[in-house]
A = this chain, B = another copy of it.
Amino acid sequence: MDLEARGHSEHPEELRLWLRMLTLTQLIEKQVRSQLREQFDTTLPRFDLMAQLERNPEGLKMNELSRRMMVTGGNVTGITDQLVTEGLVERALVEGDRRAYRVRLTPHGRTQFDEMARAHESWIVSAFDGLNPREVESLHKLLGKVKQHYNEAKLEVL
């Protein structure tokens, strides 16, 4: 996107860093979306929803999915509907609260997700091929520091 070139010399280093990070993320994300589409005829939000469920075999309520995916509830309903229609996830009743569901992967959904996850993992690993393990670790830590501080700063506002 050449956003980076926007960073003039008078601009703070943080801005140059952000433009580089944004560009790179968009580059990788665009590739992931396109491969999910081509190889599995699915989308990133659908993949993400299934990934959340894969981590929570007992299932997640709609509002939990909404929070974790950082999108509003209506969208989760739509994506879930699609996946239910395709037999990849199911809505299970929650005992003691007839308003809520617990969404979870079906066995078929789990099988299909595992296949996608393997491919996805390989795309990501090659995206970071330019770094050695020490650098991967270092990048991971630095981003963690930014994120932690970001979240703390946000809490202060609330």
Q: Which residues of A contact B (CB under 8 A)?
A: 1-3, 5-6, 8, 11-18, 20-30, 48, 51-52, 54-55, 67-70, 121, 124-131, 133, 135-140, 142-150, 153
**How far is B142's CA from A27's CA once the two chains are assembled, in angstroms?**
16
Are the C-beta atoms of A27 and B125 separated by less than 8 Å?
A: no
15 new A-B contacts, CB < 8 A, other than A12-B125, A20-B143, are: A1-B69, A3-B51, A6-B52, A6-B54, A13-B133, A13-B136, A13-B137, A14-B125, A17-B139, A24-B147, A129-B149, A131-B145, A131-B146, A138-B138, A139-B139
* A6-B150 contact, Cβ under 8 Å, with A29-B22, A125-B15: no
Are the C-beta atoms of B143 and A17 separated by less than 8 Å?
A: yes
A17 interface neighbour in B3, B17, B128, Cβ under 8 Å: B128
Inter-chain contacts of A69 with B (CB < 8 A)? 1-2
Inter-chain contacts of A22 with B (CB < 8 A)? 25, 29
A18 interface neighbour in B2, B54, B128, Cβ under 8 Å: B128
Name the residue on B nearest A22 (C-beta): B25
* A142-B150 contact, Cβ under 8 Å, with A55-B5, A68-B1, A124-B15: no
Are the C-beta atoms of B136 and A150 separated by less than 8 Å?
A: no
**How far is B146's CA from A29's CA once the two chains are assembled, in angstroms?**
14
